């Protein structure tokens, strides 16, 4: 760029460029490198809507092996795909969630000397698939649920480890404290620390998967003190506080195994699975307005030829992608569903599909692949 162009205008132009170009432009000058590496620029770059939208799919192939693939969610979908890389030291990785362009996995350590899986050593892996950078973080406890999100205010990735002790421990050991044990890892500090205040009630039990919207992680949960009613539990990544969000009576009393959450663009949706009047499987899609309690709008109902149907995520356009099975003897099929025409287009076969969306980001670009 010309030296006559004001520096702030150079920054405005740079933030609209793709990640790969910016990585190269860091070597143009010290001034540009300092700008591109700044947390303010990284945050502004992530907000630009011209960067490609991706869909990351984790699944098991017909032989039971873990696979994953990323689709570019634009007019080329589903032809434009690639396979992200993970550290070879991580085995049996499962996707935890995505936030601000980063993916988080939960897996086990592969011992370098023997190449065997060490089932006593768990790892959380932060991955930026856009620039092929990964960081593996040892997880302190074995029995837990993980949450993950990037603080939008600081750009600092955080991992939340939640261990929910069974209720009988409280009676047997006469423990009067919380049965929730929560630890938080922040990438900037490189350390785990315990949270001891503002923890949810002992009667609340969360369920995976998680969904991240802006600065909040959401989970489905059950409150056993209220006749096992369904609720939503949230965790604010910025101030590290938990909240419980009530649901309308029809959803609160629904079979918890047939209730889950997802998101359409940046809005939380609740998926209510049921059987319609024709005895076919169906899924009612409800959108929650800005996280407000009981403020739900029904978007549409997905009808399927049988009960074996699960929504795994949504495209940027709002259309759902589902896992369906028309024959119990065959692998399930990942399909794109059109709500208006109720037409399905097949993608590929497999089992246990999980999908997360992400955008390009510069996060982790200044870090080396490491454990």
Q: Look at 222 and 360; give whichever has higher pLDDT.
A: 222
Q: How far apart are CA 188 and CA 156, in angstroms?
A: 6
Q: What is the pLDDT of residue 219?
A: 95
Tell me the two tokens of residue 193.
């620390």
Q: Look at 356 and 23; give whichever has higher pLDDT.
A: 356
* N residues, the chain: 371
* Residue 249 reports pLDDT greater than 50: yes
Range 152-173 average pLDDT = 76
Q: Look at 149 and 89; give whichever has higher pLDDT.
A: 149
* Residue 293 reports pLDDT greater than 70: no
| 3-class SS of residue 324 | strand
| Beta carbons of 207 and 220 less than 8 angstroms apart | yes
Q: What is the pLDDT of residue 279?
A: 63
* Residue 278 reports pLDDT greater than 70: no
Q: Is 275 exposed, middle or buried (0-12, 13-18, 19+ CB in 10 A)?
A: exposed
Q: How far apart are CA 343 and CA 14, in angstroms?
A: 41
Q: How far apart are CA 271 and CA 250, in angstroms?
A: 13
Tell me the two tokens of residue 289.
């307005």
For the chain, give me the number of helices (H) and strands (E)? 6, 23
| Beta carbons of 118 and 111 less than 8 angstroms apart | yes
| Beta carbons of 102 and 150 less than 8 angstroms apart | yes
Average pLDDT score over the chain: 83
Range 348-361 average pLDDT = 89
Scored b (16 or more CB within 10 A) or e, 155-191 reads: bbbbbbbbebbeeeeeeeeeeeebbbbbbbbbbeeee
Selection from 178, 156, 159 nearest residue 169 by Cα: 178
* Residue 287 reports pLDDT greater than 80: yes
Q: What is the pLDDT of residue 11?
A: 80
pLDDT in tens, 173-217: 444 567 889 999 999 999 999 998 888 888 899 988 899 998 999
Band of pLDDT at residue 164, cut at 50, 70 and 90: confident
Q: Look at 238 and 175; give whichever has higher pLDDT.
A: 238
* Residue 342 reports pLDDT greater than 60: yes
- Give φ, ψ of 12 to 5 degrees: -65, -40
Q: How far apart are CA 162 and CA 201, in angstroms?
A: 13
Residue found by looking up tokens 């990735």 in the block: 157
Selection from 45, 53, 18, 213 nearest residue 131 by Cα: 18
Range 9-20 average pLDDT = 82
pLDDT in tens, 83-128: 777 776 777 788 999 998 999 999 888 777 677 777 778 889 999 9
């Amino acid at each position: 760029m010309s030296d006559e162009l004001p520096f702030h205008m150079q920054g405005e132009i740079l933030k609209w460029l793709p990640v790969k170009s910016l990585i190269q432009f860091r070597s143009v000058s010290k001034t540009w490198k300092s700008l591109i590496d700044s947390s303010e620029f990284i945050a502004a770059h992530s907000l630009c809507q011209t960067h490609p939208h991706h869909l990351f799919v984790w699944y098991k192939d017909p032989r039971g092996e873990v696979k994953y693939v990323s689709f570019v969610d634009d007019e080329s979908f589903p032809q434009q795909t690639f396979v992200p890389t993970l550290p070879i030291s991580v085995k049996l990785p499962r996707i935890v969630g995505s936030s601000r362009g980063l993916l988080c996995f939960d897996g086990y350590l592969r011992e370098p000397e023997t190449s065997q899986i060490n089932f006593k050593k768990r790892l959380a892996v932060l991955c930026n698939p856009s620039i092929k950078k990964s960081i593996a973080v040892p997880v302190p406890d074995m029995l837990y649920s993980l949450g993950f999100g990037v603080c939008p205010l600081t750009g600092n990735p955080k991992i939340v480890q939640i261990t929910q002790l069974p209720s009988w421990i409280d009676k047997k050991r006469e423990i009067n404290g919380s049965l929730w044990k929560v630890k938080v890892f922040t990438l900037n500090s490189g350390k785990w620390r315990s949270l001891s205040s503002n923890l949810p009630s002992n009667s609340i039990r969360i369920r995976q998967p998680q969904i991240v919207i802006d600065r909040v992680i959401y989970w489905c949960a059950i409150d056993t003190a209220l006749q096992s009613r369904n609720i939503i539990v949230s965790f604010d990544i910025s101030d590290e506080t938990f909240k419980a969000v009530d649901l309308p009576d029809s959803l609160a009393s629904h079979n918890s195994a047939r209730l889950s959450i997802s998101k359409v663009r940046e809005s939380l949706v609740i998926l209510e699975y049921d059987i319609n009047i024709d005895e076919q499987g169906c899924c009612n899609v409800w959108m929650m307005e800005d996280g407000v309690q009981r403020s739900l709008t029904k978007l549409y109902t997905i009808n399927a030829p049988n009960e074996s149907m699960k929504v795994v995520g949504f495209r940027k356009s709002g259309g759902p992608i589902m896992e369906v099975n028309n024959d119990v003897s065959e692998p399930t099929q990942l399909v794109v569903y059109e709500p208006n025409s109720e037409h399905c287009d097949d993608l590929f076969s497999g089992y246990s599909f999980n999908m997360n969306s992400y955008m390009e980001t510069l996060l982790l670009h200044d870090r080396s692949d490491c454990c």
